[in-house]
Amino acid sequence: MANYLSDNQTRFLDELLDWLRIPSVSADPKFHADILKAADYLKMRLEEAGVQNLEICPTAGNPIVYGDYITDASKPTVLVYGHYDVQPADPYELWTSPPFEPVIKDGNIYARGACDDKGQVYMHVKAFEMMMRDGQGGVPCNIKFMFEGEEEIGSNNLEIFVRANKEKLQADVILISDTGMLANDAPSIEVGLRGLSYHEVTVTGPNRDLHSGLYGGAVQNPINALCEMIASLHDADGRITIPGFYDNVDELSADERAEMAKAPFSEDEFKKSIGLPASYGEKGYSSMERTSIRPTLDVNGIWGGYTGEGAKTVIASQAHAKISMRLVPHQTSAEITALFQAHFASIAPAGITVQVRPHHGGEPVVTPTDSVAYKAAADAMTTTFGKRPVPTRGGGSIPIVAMFKTELGLDTVLLGFGLDSDAIHSPNEHFGVFNFLKGIETIPHFYRNYAAAQ
């Protein structure tokens, strides 16, 4: 197998780069034709690798690419999920090479989607090809592939697709490579994802923009008010002040926290990697805990008033912000959304009206570490990294994972190969060539271990 991988790695990389050249941005409708092109490209490569029953399944939004390879009904079935859509690449000027002209520099593939998630999806395509062709025993279990084009905008149509195709998607476990690990010499498997409650808020004051000299001092300024309201959402201990916010939070035991603290996480490197002299967060928790087992609230964007060249003396009629909360078990996005809406309206000062518009949400999940599938993944990584992976709770969100559990009754294994330093969603996103190849090498071991354990 090592031979098949090394003999073909240049071609594998070239094919991935070709795919990364297609700007499959889901957030912006102007890229719609590229979304379709990226789905077609993926289907073509899956077909070439030997995946059967390939379809481009239309949805009300972007299509889902489905295919499978059923060897033997008595063998277990793995449903592989990933996404071929990518985040917008803005701001383009901060990229050292253009986001859709991928290059390999210093052992990394630079492009939007290199890690999240096209590069990781492509590991699965090539791992499958390798099992089909490397003469090492073929494909040891049944595999279904389902790749969507709307993960970065909330997976709404995938949810509908899953509900409508439960039979077709029947499997024993879900396998996803869309997360990260601690370091290349510290393999880990994420066993949790946070949920999400995301809102756009508008605060309105006077019925029109006002001259700040004629009216300033005698009216509540909506931008000032919004800033005060936002500032009040955390207390001096970094805790969120929304009443009831922590009521359902699953508190970890001292033992569980001690176990977590064993993970090789360096606070100094964390700070250094993002250019900060100090970290911040909820009192009593480490940075690793704050970014995984604790819920958070962050402003993602804020605007209003005059932001153009020069100065304009004005009190704006309105101010806006996008505010998201990351959730942990056993918070639910519906509960937190209701609490946020009620609280945010209640803290508006006199003269300010508040509108809260919820965007997509998602539920937190914790995946089991005592399952056959988790063990198969941990053993696979142990083989290819020469070190046993540690389980970690992740800070990001993949809302569909909780849905797979409720709708299909299936647990997920998050076999991700990215690194926090890969700059996903940021300028200069990249993915290590090492990580890409390690993923291709590891995935077949997962299938073999999983099939053998049944």
Residues interacting with ligand BES, by CB under 6 A?
Answer: 116-117, 151-152, 154, 178-180, 193, 196, 360, 362, 394, 396-399
CA distance readout (Å), 366 to 195, 250, 307: 11, 11, 43
User: 15 or 151: whose CB is closer to ligand BES?
Assistant: 151
150 binds Mn ion (CB under 5 A): no
Question: Which residue is catalytic, options 15, 34, 85, 129?
Answer: 85
Site mask for Mn ion (CB under 5 A), range 72-111, x = bound: ----------------------------------------
Q: At 417, is the secondary structure helix, strand, or coil?
A: coil
Q: What's the one-letter identity of residue 401?
A: V
Dihedral Cα 196, 354, 233, 396, nearest 10 deg: 10
| CB nearer ligand BES, residue 99 or residue 362 | 362
Q: Answer yes or no: 15 catalytic.
A: no
Determine whether 276 is exposed, middle or buried from the number of CB atoms within 10 Å of its CB (0-12, 13-18, 19+). Answer: exposed
Long-range contacts from 354-358, C-beta under 8 angstroms, 24+ separation: 354/201, 354/202, 354/203, 354/204, 355/201, 355/202, 355/203, 355/204, 356/199, 356/200, 356/201, 357/199, 357/200, 357/201, 357/202, 358/197, 358/198, 358/199
- Tell me the HSE value of 318 on the side-chain side, using a 13 A CA sphere: 8
Per the listing, tokens 């063998």 go with: 75
> Least distance in Å: CB of 61 to ligand BES?
14
- CB 176 to ligand BES: min, Å: 9
422 interacts with Mn ion by CB under 5 A: no
Q: What are phi and psi of 303, to 5 degrees?
A: -155, 165
Q: In the chain, what is the straight-line distance between the N-terminal and C-terminal CA atoms, in Å?
A: 24
Binding partner selected for residue 63 from ligand BES, Mn ion, none, CB under the kind-specific 5 to 8 Å limit? none
Q: Closest distance between ligand BES and the C-beta of residue 167, in Å?
A: 27
Q: Which is nearer to ligand BES, 61 or 154 (CB)?
A: 154
In the set 85, 116, 148, 150, which binds Mn ion (CB under 5 A)?
A: 116
The neighbouring-strand residues paired with 66 are 55, 146
Q: Is 117 in the site for Mn ion (CB under 5 A)?
A: yes
User: Least distance (Å) from ligand BES to the CB of residue 334?
Assistant: 16
| 151 has catalytic annotation | yes
Q: How far apart (Å, rounded) are the C-alpha atoms in residues 78 and 135?
A: 21
Q: Which of 398, 390, 395, 190 is nearest to 285 (CA)?
A: 395
Show contacts with Mn ion in window 164-183 (CB under 5 A): 178
Instruction: Choose the one of Mn ion, ligand BES, none that binds residue 195, judging by a C-beta under 5 to 8 angstroms depending on kind.
Output: none
Per CB under 5 A, the segment of 112-120, 196-204, 206-214, 252-260 that binds Mn ion is 112-120
Q: Minimum Å distance from CB 424 to ligand BES? A: 6
363 binds, options ligand BES, Mn ion, none, Cβ within 5 to 8 A by partner type: none
Looking at the Cβ atoms of 76 and 364, the one nearer to ligand BES is 364
Among Mn ion, ligand BES, none, residue 180 binds (CB under 5-8 Å by kind)? ligand BES
> Catalytic one among 34, 68, 151, 178?
151
Q: How far is the CB of 223 from Mn ion (least distance, A)?
A: 30
Structure tokens at 73: 């009904």
Q: Helices 118-133 and 32-49 sit at what angle, rounded to 10 degrees?
A: 20
Select 286 or 333, whichever has its Cβ closest to ligand BES.
Answer: 333
Contact residues for Mn ion, defined by CB under 5 A: 116-117, 178
List active site positions. 85, 151
